[in-house]
Structure 1
Amino acid sequence: MSVVVVPYNPEWPSYFEKIKAELTSYLVDVEILSIEHVGSTSVPGLAAKPIIDIDIIVTRSNVQPAIDALVNASFLNLGELGITDRHALKDPNQSPKRNIYVCVADAFQTRNHLALRDTLRSNPSLRDEYAAVKLQLAAEDTNIIDYISGKSFIVQKILKAAGLLNDDELVAIKKANSGRGTFGATKTERLLLREFIMDDVQPLSELEGKAEVVRYQTRPPWTREQAWEEVGEIIRDATVIPRSHIELAVEHEKRFIGRVGAKIKRDGEDGALIKVPHADLWYSFEPEYQGKGYATEAMKKFIELLPKPLELEIECDPRNTGSWKLAERLEFEKISLIEKAFKCKGEWVDSLVYQKRI
C-alpha cells in the first residue's frame, strides 16, 4: 500500500471546520482548551497525504473524559501507540479521511504538532523543502512505514528551526518517527510484510469475511466492525514492550493479500518466566493466493523476524491439509494428534500440533 501525496487542496480548512463542529458536539460536556488543525493539510500551499489531522487539546484531568465521550460516539480508542500524552482515536466517519488525537496541553508531543505547523506556515522555504521530500518518497512508491522514517530528517530540521523543543524531546520525536513498530516493512522475493494500519480494516474484513477462509476456525466470518476492532488491537499491541502479539500485513504488488501472526507467552502458570518463550503462529491468505507458495514465503520471513529463542507452534485441524503441509515445509516437527479435541462449527474435530525451536 503506497503512500499518496497530493497538491495542497484549498478545501482542507473547510473540511477541518466541519469535523471540528462534529467533535465539539460530541465533547459538549468536556472542558476543551482548543481543537487544532495540524499536520500537512493545515499548511497552505503544502503537498500532503489527503488526511485531516486534528488535535483535541485538554488538561491532563480531562483526557479520560474526552476519550470516553468520543468512544460513546463510536470512535475506536487506539491508545497512546507508544507516544506519551497523545491518545489516538479513529472516527468511524472517514469522509474525508481524518486522524483524531486527544492531546495533553503543553506536553512535548502537542508542542511538536503545533511547532511543525506554525513553522511551516511562516517559512515558505522549509515548507517547499518538506514538500519536495514527501513528493519524492511518494514517487518512489514508498510504503507508509518507510515514508514516516524517510522524512524524519526534514521533520527534525523543521523542529530545530522552531526552537520550541529541547534536545531530549527532539530525540524522542526522531525515535517515534523512525517507523512504528519493531519490524517496519520487510521485503521477500514477491512480498512485502509490514505493520498494520487502520486502512487495512476493509481488506482484512474482506479476507476474514469469507466462509472458505475461516472454514477450519471455530468462529464465523468477521463483520467489518469485527475487523475494525481487530486492527485496533493489532496496532495497540504493536507498541507494548516486550511485544507479545505480533501481526503483520502481507502485500503482493501493493495489494493486501493476507496476514501472519504470533502470540508469545513468556511466563508459566505460576507467573515465573519460562526459559524458552512459547509462540503460537497463524496465517490467512486470500483464496486466489493460496497454493502458490505465498504463505510459505511470508511465514519463512516472519519467523526470521521473531525474537529468539522461541518455541514455535502451529496447531491445525488435520482436514486443513494446506496448514499442516506448510508446517512440514517450514521443517516443523509433528508433536501430537488429539482426536475430537474441540468443536468447530457444530462438529468435533481433531487437533494436529507441530513445533519448532528457533
Structure 2
Amino acid sequence: MDEIEIAEHNPDWPAAFQRERERILSALADFPIIDIVHFGSTAIKGMPAKPIIDMLFIVPDLNSAKAALPAKLDRLGYDYWADNPKTDRLFFVRGMPPRGEKRTHHIHVSEPGSDLHGRLAFVDYLYTHPEEAEAYARLKRKLAETYGNDREAYTQAKSDFIDRVMMIARPDKPQ
C-alpha cells in the first residue's frame, strides 16, 4: 500500500536533495541537463510534506531524455513510469517496493518553459508568503487524513489551491 504520510518539516531535506543531486549529476555526466532543482513541499522551509524529495530536471529535449534516462536512472534505483498520461514530462520514483520500503525520491523531467517548469513559481510564492504556506500546510494535513490511501485523489484535491496560487504567482500565464 502506498499510504500518504505527511511529516513535519525536516531541516535535512535540502541537504538530502543536494546529496542526491550530486550523485545523479556524477552518474549522468554524459547527459545534457540544464538544471536539477529541489521541487515540491520539501523545498519550502517549514512546510510539512510527504517525506519524499522531489527533484525537477530541466532538459533541452524531452524526447532525448525519454530515450536515455530510464536506463541510466534505473542503475541508480529509479523506476520509470512509462504509462504516465502526462506526456509533457517524465516521472521516476526511487524506493518503491520491491527495491525499497517506501518512496524516498521523485524525479520530474521537463523542458524549459513547460507547465511543470512554471510550477517553480508555486514554491517561490509559498516561500515568500507564509500565510499562504500555512494554509497549504493545513490543506495537506486534512487531505492526507481524507485520502490517506489514494495518492491520485490527494493530488487532485490540492489542485484548486495550487491553481489559485499559480494565478497570483504567474499572472502572465493562463492556468
Q: TM-score range by the shorter chain?
A: 0.7 to 0.9
- Taking the TM superposition and a 5 Å limit, the aligned residue runs for 1:146-225 are 146-163=153-170, 166-167=173-174, 170=175
Match in the other structure for 2:132: 126
Is 1:84 the counterpart of 2:87? The answer is yes
Query: Which residue identity lines up with residue 22 of structure 1 in the other structure?
Result: R
1:66 and 1:102 in contact (8 A); partners too? no
Structure possessing the higher radius of gyration over alpha carbons? 1
Match in the other structure for 1:102: 109
Flag the 1:69–1:5 CA change in 2: closer, same or farther, 3 A.
same
1:79 alignment partner, SS class: coil
Flag the 1:104–1:80 CA change in 2: closer, same or farther, 3 A.
farther
2:107 alignment partner, SS class: strand
1:105 alignment partner, SS class: coil
Q: Give the number of aligned pairs.
A: 167
Alignment partners' CA distance in 2, 1:9 and 1:110: 24
Query: Identity of paired residues, percent?
Result: 27
Q: Which runs of 5+ in 2 are unaligned?
A: none
Structure 1 residue 23: deviation in Å?
Answer: 0.7
Structure with greater proportional helix content: 2
2:91 and 2:107 in contact (8 A); partners too? yes
Q: CA RMSD in A?
A: 2.3
Structure 1 residue 141: deviation in Å?
Answer: 5.6
Structure with greater proportional strand content: 1
Higher relative contact order, chain-length normalized (CA < 8 Å, sep 6+): 2
Is 1:116 the counterpart of 2:122? The answer is yes
Match in the other structure for 1:145: 152
Deviations 1:203-243 (A, max 9, x none): xxxxxxxxxxxxxxxxxxxxxxxxxxxxxxxxxxxxxxxxx
Q: Which runs of 5+ in 1 are unaligned?
A: 171-358
Match in the other structure for 2:30: 29
Q: Give runs of ≥4 in structure 1 deviating > 4 Å.
A: 92-96
2:81 alignment partner, SS class: strand
Structure 1 residue 140: deviation in Å?
Answer: 3.6
Is 1:15 the counterpart of 2:39? The answer is no
User: Normalising to structure 1: TM-score of the pair?
Assistant: 0.43
Alignment partners' CA distance in 2, 1:150 and 1:109: 18
